[in-house]
Amino acid sequence: MKKILYPVFFTLFALIASSCDNEPLEGEFGDLDGGNGGGSNGGSFVATIDGNSFVADGAIAMTLNSGDMVQTTISGTNLSGNSISIQILSSGTGTYELSDPVDFDNPGDGTGMYAQLSSQSFPFVTTMNSTGTVEITEYDTDNLVVSGTFSFEAEREVENEDGSTDVETVSITEGEFTNIQLQIQGEGNGGEGSGGEGEGEGSGEDVLFQVELDEELFEGEEIQAVNNEDGLQIGAKNGTILVSLQIFDPAIGDFDLGNEDEAIVYYTLDAEDEDAPLYISNSGTVTITSIDFSTNTVSGSFVGTVSDVFGDQSEVVMTNGVFENISFESVAGVDSATALVDGEQFQANTFAEASVEGSSEVTLNFVSDLDDRITITIPQQPEVGVYPISETPPYSASFTAFVDDPTEVNYEAQADSGEIEIISFENDIVTGTFSFTGVADNGDTITITEGEFTYEF
């Protein structure tokens, strides 16, 4: 099964909260660079990070109007959980300086940030007297899209085992966002969109999502839900507070919140602040008391505890959690990929595609439990046939172990060590097989056999 990526959690609800009532919370964003699911506007969010390409799988722009304060945030996140976020204290077209968020003598116009899922350190943030800028070239309040370019350098402090600290830097260049969906909230904009408060679509009964968090009652005012290849996901928001459930194989019964293969609860006090603590369940139970796949409604309860991902905050106790008559959309997924890696079973549960503008090739990413990844590169319009593996496109491949971990190892497929077979390509769905031998920089090898894949663009 696929799992929601923790940093993506914030962007995730912003994406669905800006949609109409029956647009659901989804576990993957799809490709923004022309692939399926990238939004009706076909937006893209790309950059170069220390010389490496970054392509977002999900992006959102949001302007908040609160009294005399205006704040616009533009962020993109990929399926590895890495994210770039730009925040300015303004809206509209123009060029804005990105600087230190706590430098009151020289605040600039906003900040830039780069965060990594794999790192337990703080995100990289723009610094005092930064040379970073963002230029918003399009701010369309009629079609609700925003476009522009950006670049900045950012720093973070990393604490060593001996208590000393080092300063790490990152350089973000060639940043560009195009036709990113824009959400405007606040005075004169009708406030936040509705999300299913008060009645359930198709159920004819009142919808309810509530839980006591350290004895403080939370009641969801915006509720979105979807059942797809990632399982059943329910997100509820009230103001900035967001609580989300994910049950990977939904059915009537109990699911252990201490087992991430069964169910997870996410909680944050401020879904609009990427620096706000994010809490993940570590114990408890979700109980589905009824689920009807003909009317797409579900009810149940949950209790347990959630803890801060970075361990800075105390645990929060959840009691009397209830979700009733929640309507969900069923979305069938066709993506799949399996293989034997040195004889061990590999099964992907996260999928993404990436391509370079103007290129005729596309790289398909098959990720297993956010740990290991197989990539194969094929033409964007593949033809049925058998093609030998090469070390360069259009038919190349690789295997990466320990993705986004300091111990990450990449094995590049060797020429003529295997083949990619395109079995069919119809209705934007490609099916095929693959095999190859990969070699790492240190000379270690890995053998990929019996690879099979189906992918919908």
Domain coordinates in residue numbering, the chain:
31-186, 208-330, 336-456
399 torsion bin: left (phi>0), alpha (psi -120 to 50), beta (else): beta
What pLDDT score was predicted for residue 119? 58
CB 66 within 8 A of CB 93: no
pTM: 0.41
Q: What is the pLDDT along the chain (457 residues), one digit of tens a residue?
A: 333 333 334 444 443 333 333 333 333 333 344 333 333 345 899 999 999 999 987 788 888 876 667 889 898 887 666 889 998 988 999 999 998 755 545 557 888 988 876 555 678 888 876 679 999 999 999 999 999 999 999 988 887 888 788 889 999 999 999 999 888 876 543 333 333 333 333 344 678 999 999 999 999 998 888 887 668 889 999 998 999 999 988 888 888 998 777 889 999 998 777 678 889 998 999 999 888 877 888 999 999 999 987 767 789 999 999 999 998 877 666 788 999 999 999 998 777 888 776 788 999 999 887 678 999 999 999 999 999 999 888 999 999 998 766 788 999 999 999 999 999 998 788 999 999 999 999 999 999 999 999 988 7
One-letter-per-residue 3-state SS of the chain: CCCCCCCHHHHHHHHHHCCCCCCCCCCCCCCCCCCCCCCCCCCEEEEEECCEEEECCEEEEEEEEECCEEEEEEEEECCCCCEEEEEECCCCCEEEEECCCCCCCCCCCEEEEEECCCCCCCCEEECCCCCEEEEEEEEECCCCEEEEEEEEEEEEEEECCCCCEEEEEEEEEEEEEEEEEEEEEECCCCCCCCECCCCCCCCCCCCEEEEEECCEEEECCEEEEEEECCEEEEEEEECCEEEEEEECCCCCEEEECCCCCCEEEEEECCCCCCCCCEEEEEEEEEEEEEEECCCCEEEEEEEEEEEECCCCCCCEEEEEEEEEEEECEECCCCCEEEEEECCEEEECCEEEEECCCCCCEEEEEEEECCCEEEEEEEECCCCCEEEECCCCCCCEEEEEECCCCCCCEEEEECCCCCEEEEEEEECCEEEEEEEEEEECCCCCEEEEEEEEEEEEC
* Cα 155 off chain centre by: 23
Could you give phi then psi for residue 418, rounded to 5 degrees? -175, -160
